[in-house]
Every structure is written in C-alpha cells, then in structure tokens.
Chain A
C-alpha cells in the first residue's frame, strides 16, 4: 500500500544550525510530494511541492527539498534554522489525480529549536 514515512518523531536543533527532515514514500508511480508545516493551534501551511522537473525545489521561509527517486525520498532542508521554525512538519504524497486525489500524510516530525 502507498505510504509516507517520517522516521524522526522529534528533532532538536540549535538556532542557526542546519536542518534536514527525512521523508520516504512508497508509491508505484511518480509521486506528487508536499511538505506542510503546522504551528501550535494552527492549520497546515504548504512549504513546498514537487510534481516534476527539477528535483530540488524551493519553498517558503527558506526551505528546500530534494526528490530522489532512487531512494524514494523527499527530504526537507534549511541551511540555518530560526526559532520561529519550531513546529510540526508533515510530508505528504498525493495519490491519483483530478477530483479523486487524496493527500496521504506522514506521521509528522516535531522540530524544537534551542537558543
């Protein structure tokens, strides 16, 4: 079955340090991949998405992600983390297409930022 795995439940980084959040997917076809961020008490906000083309995609807030088909991965990165980046991060894969598609989410990674 199609699935999305985020191996890290909780990550703590120091402010100014680099960040990489891992995401692996299991899907037969070329996936459509997303990263969302959820701040406490808020809904989910789209950070970036990959549909096709350049495998390195840029998002908002200085985030980027790289699609690696050989590793079935779509890891999220940021070169220098800010305290405001502390939140829950969700990787998601879009199944099917058009009106019948549905977004399947990973279990999330909670990012804590130390001063």
Chain B
C-alpha cells in the first residue's frame, strides 16, 4: 500500500555514467516533484510535473532530465554523473484538486557517485 515509491533505494555508480531513478505514486495525485537533499540535509526542489506537463524547472543542469509517461510516474534520468550529484533524491506528489494540499514523499534514493 506504498503511496509514493522510488527505486532503487541505493545507487552507487562511477563518474560519467548515466543512471535513472523511478518514481510511482498510487494516490491519484496530479502533481509530482523531484527534490534533492544534500549532505547538509538541505532540500531543494528540482522539477515539478502536473498531469505529465513540466511546471517547475529550477536551475538544474541539463544532464538531469525528468520524464513523466503518465501522471502516476515521474522518472529522473541523469547523464554524465558527477561527484557533486551525490545526494538523496526524493520524489513527492500532491493533489492539486485540494487547495495547497501537503506533499507526500517517497523514502528517497541515495545516489553515490565515485
């Protein structure tokens, strides 16, 4: 009955590789997000999609490309990984039919780039 699920939970890879993180939500929400949490626990929004349409695109390198095949899924693909990409990436969703409804978070994907 997991609401927002991300895979994988851990991802260890070398610099220069390309990797993807998948996210799925079964809450029927319209909007999904990717957040990055750095080593100091600071959470910063990266992207937001509403009904498969890109809504928010913060200042994120072009190496990061979100893909939303349907409103229940928002995947994150990262090309040419760099050491600075090491972080925990959180997927989240919210129901925008409810006015300013809270975010529901996945458990995160810890990405380590060596």
Contact = CB atoms under 8 A, between A and B. Distances in A.
Q: Do A and B come from one complex?
A: yes
Contact of A43 (B33, B44, B105): B105
B83 interface: no
A99 B100 contact: no
A102 B56 contact: yes
Contacts of A42: 107-108
A94 B100 contact: yes
23 contacts: A32-B100, A34-B103, A36-B105, A42-B108, A43-B106, A44-B90, A44-B103, A44-B105, A45-B105, A88-B41, A90-B43, A100-B56, A102-B33, A102-B48, A102-B56, A103-B45, A103-B103, A104-B45, A105-B43, A105-B44, A107-B41, A107-B42, A108-B41
Interface of B: 4, 30-31, 33, 40-45, 48, 50, 55-56, 90, 92, 96, 99-100, 102-108
